[in-house]
Structure 1
Amino acid sequence: MSGVHIEIGRPQEAVKQWSSKSIYFSLLESNHSATTQAESAGFLAKQLNETHSHTADMPANIEQLDAWLSDHNEVVGRQYHEYLAARKAGQPRWYFGTKSHALFFLRAVAPTKLVDGSWLYGLMKHWQDPRLASLIKIYLEELGDGVEAMNHVVLYRKLLKLNACEDWKNLDEKFFTQGAIQLALAAHTDSHLPEVIGFNLGYEQLPLHLLITAYELKELNIDPYYFTLHTTIDNAQSGHARGAIDAVREAMPLFGESRDYMQRVIAGVKLNDVGLSTLDVIKHFDLQGEVVRILQSKANIGQFMHSDRCVIGGKTINEWLRDQDQVAVFLYEMEKIGWVKRHQNPEDSPFWKVIAGDKAPMFGVFTGYEQQVIYDWIAGEKIESMPMLARLGRPWRMVEKQSVAQEEARHKRYGNVYDFQSGNKITHQLRQENDFTQDQLSFERHVHGIDDEEKLMHFLVDWMSPAKHYTSIGLCATRYFKSHMDSLF
């Protein structure tokens, strides 16, 4: 199963540049082309080669992993305690100066969060191998075991939508690198199993930034549930951090020489360093630059939409917007004439009144995220003195866990009526067929018509891919798969 793996540290004849963004979206296609497979293999080999010289703090001796895990959690716990003490003593937030800064972060890490757990997908076709049980369990839990309210990607998609940050696909190349790594590991698991196991080991350890992020998002009226969920599910006693160490031990019999195995596991751990880190993304935020970027993104259409009666700095607005390089100067000119009154209540700026509010002349032109950026930029040094509702928006509500009865009703509504425990098909009447239910009913009929276990599981695994698992059918497929796995182990 381990196959032939690409040697790390071997000199490359020529350094080829791959597009992380292109590979990311290509790997999210349902069926990978031969070109995608080849390019993603080369991309993965390049990342392994570049991180070969990096140091990793994890031990090479598998017997020392438990102590390593315990020490790591103790260090993170002490650091978080220091953070809380500093905040209690009056220090400002360490990560997010404004709500727009936090929303920028949510948007910037979306390419990674929206493939959460994807690096384990390649293991699903090996569902019968008990040596991979811990890893398969982790992947199922990333998928919420098929429950929409617990599926990590569903949760993050909802978080983006709630905060009007859904335009993440327009992000620059550098924000897709880590997500591309995770998808590449999923696509090449058969030749990189130890690296997948190692990546999972590194990723599932509780980081300090996760705790601080959740704390500060809550302060800024942004629902932190996605992040608090990971602080609990990744715990060292019974969560993913523990399961990740168990997985290292469980898979070792697949490899004859433990030293080589552990070196490849460590190589996988190092892949967590590829791309922008959480702190890199946070530091990447430039409020002024983000305002300029937002206006530039509107310029292609905006240059035709304004009346020539309004002249600012000797040019019409249309003329300013025809040259995107002049947008920063345009902002300066608006300040000069008082259209933007920096470091004051944005409500006092004519520009804000034009873009914000249901009856504003430019209602709908700027998204909620974009308005938050502009609001924070105008308020500037006075941001913390602005009214809380205007500055932070309406209070968020924690996601409520559904009761068992609600979940059973959801499953029945989705038509999950095949009992893997007994092997019998339950004779609930399927929903009435119409244009909105054809895909679900077709899925159910197909599942109920497969009598071969291997074929059935292969079909379900396809729907559990990073591109599909968060859909209604993907969630249903995950529940079928989970039910069968529970009957095996």
Structure 2
Amino acid sequence: MSIASFIDTPAAQRISFVAATGPWQSLYRQLLDEPEPGHPQAREFLLECLQEAARLPCDLPNSPFELADWSLRHHQRVTADYARYLDGRRSGQGRRYFPRKAHALHFLRAVAPTKLVDGAWLYGALPHWRDHRVYPLVRTYLEELGDGVAEQNHVLLYRQLLASQGCEDALELDDALYRQGAIQLALGLLIDEFLPEVIGYNLGYEQLPLHLLISAFELNELDIDPYYFQLHVTIDNGSSGHAAKAVQSVLDNLPRVGDAQAFYQRVMRGYLLNDLGVGSTAVIEGFDLQQELLQMLERKRKVASQVHSDYCRIEGRTVNQWLGSADNLGGFLEALQRNGWIRRDRDPADSRFWRLVQGQGAAMFGVFSPYERQLLHDWIAGQWQPAEQRPPFRARRTSQVATPPDATAQQGELDRERREMLGQLRGLDAYRRECRLIELLSPAQHWTSAGLAATRSFTALMRQPR
């Protein structure tokens, strides 16, 4: 399925998060739903984050005029580290990040709150696109949106990635995983007051990280399309991509009159905001298969503890009795192993319990989501490996072809939103039309049919003679 046809499918719309259970998730949802410039809750939150960031060590050079060399050295260091990683893989070392597929799917889900607002920190730059100092930031934001082409819209790409792996069910995630996304959303609503901090955050976020390269490589090995990650490797390049533009934005916005050093200090604080929250490498390192499995089973237990028949008893207890308390889950798994229902460190197909979950005529078909089945599969498999391993070096399995804007148009009900948006714009004067377009380019809307069409219209507006 192409991304253009994916936009309005149930899978695209279903990707969501459960009801907010923590302060950062609540703020995250509020800022998505209420993208008002100068948002007071966003401001209070951002000030708290900046105070925390000010206490962190900073690796930026003392002078902004040294940033180009700093960025180049960073890029060279990352690519050298990646070359050493590839040498290790060629010599027989295993995957560094994702030994098994469940680990990779856990990563994709855990970073979703950040990836699904990709570029949001630059949203507030849109009204200032006529200012030559801000124009590169606007262009960066529009490129994150794929200039309105579905196949290049980063948020839509990530939504399709989740859906392709059966991870489009409601995400139940720790509150800490929403903090970085909330920072991005807050910055996007406060650029008029915090422009230096936005520029600094952009500087840090657009530098090429090692984990991006390794993730793309290992996801590909696990038959998970790495295109979203590969796209960021190319678009963020330090020569002509977002990393280079980020450095130039610092220099373009340095005040010629006033305290340039004070401005740069604020840039440095914004840069350090990237270090708050749970980063990608911390997500990867924090994965514990046993704990993830138990947490998943606890979620299932809450809704299934009384739905099993009593004819099946394990060590004298019914399944309903085993599932009657969270404290029993670990013992239940051990009992399943003692009685031959689960055979660890072997092909999961050898386990009777797995055959109840997966396969033709499985009695528990549909009980577990694809991600949940992968957790169970990998836990049972343990040290077992299939006889034939996929070669570690191969070309990306899929190709992504950008479709021309007109090709994203559909007919009938699926295209109603886009058509009504265009009709609405025709009834507005130039100023209100531009304001409406900017509303539709917000982080919560730009990936929809109307948002993509609005992005194309806004991009065309910027190309007109001023």
Give TM-score scaled by structure 2 length.
0.90
1:457 has 2:434 as partner: yes
Instruction: Name the residue aligned to 1:445.
Output: 423
Structure 1 residues 283-309: Cα deviation after superposition (integer angstroms, max 9, x where no partner): 111111111111111112211221111
> Partner of 2:254: helix, strand, or coil?
helix
Conserved? CA contact 1:111–1:168, under 8 Å: no
1:398 has 2:375 as partner: no
Partners of 2:443 and 2:147 lie apart in 1 by 14
Q: 1:178 to 1:328 in 2, by over 3 A?
A: same
Report the count of equivalent residues. Answer: 442
Instruction: Name the residue aligned to 1:19.
Output: 23
Conserved? CA contact 1:107–1:168, under 8 Å: no
Partners of 2:204 and 2:256 lie apart in 1 by 21
Q: 1:386 to 1:191 in 2, by over 3 A?
A: farther
Partners of 2:37 and 2:457 lie apart in 1 by 28
Return the offset for 1:252: 2.1
Q: 1:381 to 1:308 in 2, by over 3 A?
A: same
Partners of 1:228 and 1:371 lie apart in 2 by 27
Partners of 2:345 and 2:400 lie apart in 1 by 39
Instruction: Name the residue aligned to 2:124.
Output: 122
Give the counterpart letter for 1:20 in structure 2.
W
Instruction: Name the residue aligned to 1:188.
Output: 190
RMSD between superposed Cα atoms in Å: 2.1
Where do 1:306-455 residues align within 5 Å? 306-382=308-384, 384-385=385-386, 397-402=397-402, 406-410=403-407, 413=409, 435-450=413-428, 452-455=429-432
Q: Among 68, 91, 94, which residue is 1:92 paired with?
A: 94
1:486 has 2:430 as partner: no
Give TM-score scaled by structure 1 length.
0.86
Q: 1:192 to 1:398 in 2, by over 3 A?
A: same
Q: 1:301 to 1:259 in 2, by over 3 A?
A: same
Return the offset for 1:441: 2.2
Conserved? CA contact 2:71–2:238, under 8 Å: yes
Partners of 1:480 and 1:362 lie apart in 2 by 49
Q: 1:386 to 1:274 in 2, by over 3 A?
A: farther
Partners of 1:208 and 1:244 lie apart in 2 by 18
> Partner of 2:166: helix, strand, or coil?
coil
Q: 1:254 to 1:300 in 2, by over 3 A?
A: farther
Instruction: Name the residue aligned to 2:269.
Output: 267
> Partner of 2:54: helix, strand, or coil?
coil
Partners of 1:151 and 1:142 lie apart in 2 by 6
Structure 1 residues 66-115: Cα deviation after superposition (integer angstroms, max 9, x where no partner): 11111111111111111111111111111111111111101110111001
Conserved? CA contact 2:24–2:178, under 8 Å: yes
Instruction: Name the residue aligned to 2:445.
Output: 468
Conserved? CA contact 1:28–1:466, under 8 Å: yes
Return the offset for 1:126: 1.7
Give the counterpart letter for 1:286 in structure 2.
D
Conserved? CA contact 2:37–2:189, under 8 Å: no
Where do 1:71-150 residues align within 5 Å? 71-150=73-152
Which has the bigger relative contact order, CA under 8 A and spacing at least 6?
2
Return the offset for 1:396: 8.0
> Partner of 2:192: helix, strand, or coil?
helix
> Partner of 2:365: helix, strand, or coil?
coil
Return the offset for 1:259: 0.5
Conserved? CA contact 1:309–1:316, under 8 Å: yes
Instruction: Name the residue aligned to 2:14.
Output: none
Return the offset for 1:435: 4.8
Partners of 1:109 and 1:163 lie apart in 2 by 15
